[in-house]
Amino acid sequence: MNDYVIITESTTDLSQELIDELGLVVIPMTFKSDDREYINYPDGRELSNKDFYEAERKGVQFTTAQVTPNDFANVFRTYLDMGKDILAICFSSGLSGTVNSAHLAIEDLKDEYKDRKILMVDSLCASMGEGLLAYYASKNREKGMSILDNHDAIENMKLKLAHWFTVSDIDFLKRGGRLSNASAFVAKALRINPVLHVDNEGHLVSRFKKIGRKSAIKEILNQMLDTIDVTIKQTIFISHGDCEEDAQYLASLVKKEIDADVIIGEIGPVIGAHSGPGTLALFFIASHR
pLDDT tens per residue, range 280-289:
999 999 999 8
pLDDT at 169 over 90: no
pLDDT at 205: 84
**What are the backbone dihedrals phi and psi of residue 280, each rounded to the nearest 5 degrees, phi first?**
-135, 130
What CATH number labels 4-158? 3.40.50.10170
User: Quick check: 216 pLDDT over 60?
Assistant: yes
- pLDDT score recorded for residue 211: 75
CA 30 to CA 32: how far, in whole Å?
7
CATH code of domain 160-285: 3.30.1180.10
Secondary structure of residue 270 in the 3-state scheme: helix
pLDDT higher than threshold 80 for residue 177: no
Q: Give the pLDDT confidence of 74-130 residue by residue, as tens digits.
A: 999 999 999 999 999 999 999 999 999 999 999 999 999 999 999 999 999 999 999
Sheet containing strand 234-240, edge to edge, reads 204-211, 192-198, 161-166, 280-285, 234-240, 260-266
pTM to 2 decimals? Answer: 0.92
> What are the angstrom distances between the C-alpha of 56 and each of 20, 46, 74, 90, 273?
29, 16, 32, 26, 8
Q: Show me where the domains of the chain are located.
A: 4-158, 160-285
> CB–CB of 87/151 below 8 Å?
yes
